[in-house]
Each structure stands twice: as C-alpha cells, then as structure tokens.
Amino acid sequence: MPRRPRIQLAGLPTHLVQRGINREPCFFAEEDYHCYLHWLQKSTADWNCTIHAYVLMTNHVHLLISAERNEGPAKLMQSLGRRYVQYINRAYKRSGSLWEGRYKSSVVQAETYLLACMRYIELNPVRSGMVADPAHYRWSSYRHNGLGQADARLTAHPLYHSLGRGAEGRRATYRVLFRAEVDDEAIGDIRLALAQSQPLGDTRFAERICARGYGVPMPGEGRGEGKRDERDWRTNRIWSLRRKREMKMNVMLTPLVFHASNDIGWRIVA
C-alpha cells in the first residue's frame, strides 16, 4: 500500500512521534537524553521551529511543534534523527538504524485539540506506569509548562498564554487540566490521526486541510468500492462519532472564569 502523503503547514501545530526500531530502546543512559535535547534545540533553531511540548520515553519520543516553513517539521526530524543516531552509534559501538521507519505526524487544530495533545504527550509516563505524577518525570515539558522550571527549548503557544493573565496563573490553570486523564475519545482521535497522517481537529478543519491540494483524502474517500481496509473502517467510525459530538457543541473548549483571580482559563468539555 502506498504511503499516505504528509500534511506540512507552516504556522499550525504539528504532533510528531518517532519510535525505536522494533520498539526497542532509543535511550540507554542519562547522557543520551541530554544529548537528544541538545540536538533538538539546535535543530529547531536551524529550521525555524518552536517546541510547545515534548516527552522522551525509553523507546519513543513525542514532540509538539510549530514551524515557520512547510518543510520545517521534516527538516527538523531529519537533522535531529541523523545527529542523534550518529551519537548513539559512536557511543555504543553499534551501526545501522535506530528508528523504526519514518516518523508519524499530524497537523493539530489548536482551538480544539492543542491542550488535549499537550496533556496526552506529558501524561505518557503516567499512562506507562513509570511515575504517578507527570512532575516526577524529568524528560518532558511538564515541569516547564505546569511548574515554571526553566527550559530554553520551549516556546508557549498563544493558546497556552490564554490560560491566565500572569505566568503563575497560567501554570495553575494548566495544572488543573492534569487532575484528570485525557478522555478515551480524545486519545483515540490523537492516535488515529497519527497512524493515518490525518489532521487532528473538527470536521471543518479537516475538510479545509484536505481540500488544499495535499493529496490526502477525507476518511473513506479515494479508494473505490472493494478497496477499503480495516483502517478505513476505524477512521470512518471515529469521524462519525466526532461529527455527532460536534452537533452537540461548537467547540471542545469553553471559557471558564476563575472569580478569585479574575483570570480566564479553559475547561475541556469533550
């Protein structure tokens, strides 16, 4: 089956995932994490990208970035992957590939999924049973976004700034979002969008992106009768459920006023 074309759009957040080959480890010692983060910062600067969230797991990584140029995410991942693999091969006297195929990517509609995607990324260590609280995991952006620990690699997305008037107010509102796990429907949407290289957002967003000439069909389209597979069935099912949810609400985020501080935050309603 031919690969689905990537959607790469400047200015829109993009969720990127890269896994170790055969799901084997890609980090073996503490120094490896530091090295990856060093090259991540260097590569984002080289290709005019900004990082909003990340997590480095034992055998895979998640990044949420925005780029000034359409080719920015691809160039970033090529540069970062090449530099890190060279380091690992030298350090551990190995050869060959470290990564499993090409990385996965999904363009994210900020208004509906950005905060859910950030939570999904930073809660990975909790879902994996490695820690009980995301603050206990060193190799993610949560300590910066939720606790204010300095991390020069990160740039806040404008939607994050809307969480409160001051830095502490924003962090407090962000921490409130982590009192509950990301709901199963949102997790399913995020994972399927990555697996299918589909845009992550409401149906209007996806239709607008797919109509811009990127060769990416809407779910279930473009194969003809008798050519749909299990992935198409799952995609259609999730998009059908998503459309039903959207009929009940216009957006997945609604304003929430914190009367004590008069700050404006956001409440996840789906």
For the segment 228-243, what is each residue's pLDDT rounded down to a tens digit? 444 444 444 454 455 5
> Would you place residue 214 in the very low, low, confident or very high pLDDT band (cuts 50, 70, 90)?
low
Task: Give the DSSP H or E segment for 63.
Answer: strand 60-67
Parallel, antiparallel or unpaired: strands 60-67 and 104-107 = unpaired
- Mean pLDDT, the chain, rounded, equals 81
What is the predicted pLDDT for the residue at 169?
95
**pLDDT exceeding 70 applies to what percent of the chain?**
75
248-260: pLDDT as tens digits: 433 333 333 332 2
Confidence of residue 206 (pLDDT cuts 50, 70, 90): confident
Is the pLDDT score of 86 beyond 70?
yes
Q: Distance between CA atoms of 188 and 181, rounded to whole angstroms?
A: 13
Looking at the predicted structure, is the pLDDT value of residue 3 above 70?
A: no
Q: Out of 62-76, 132-146, 209-223, pick the least confident.
A: 209-223
Predicted structure pTM score: 0.79
Alpha-carbon distance of 198 to 219, in angstroms, equals 9
Least confident of 99-108, 200-209, 253-262: 253-262
Q: Give the least confident one: 88-92, 141-145, 190-194.
A: 190-194
What residues have CB less than 8 Å from 107, skipping those under 6 apart?
7, 8, 9, 12, 13, 14, 199, 200, 201, 209
Question: Under a CB-based contact definition with an 8 Å cutoff, are residues 43 and 220 in contact?
Answer: no
SS3 call for 71 = coil
- CA count, 13 A, side-chain hemisphere, 178: 24
Give phi and psi for 24, each to the nearest 5. Answer: -85, 165
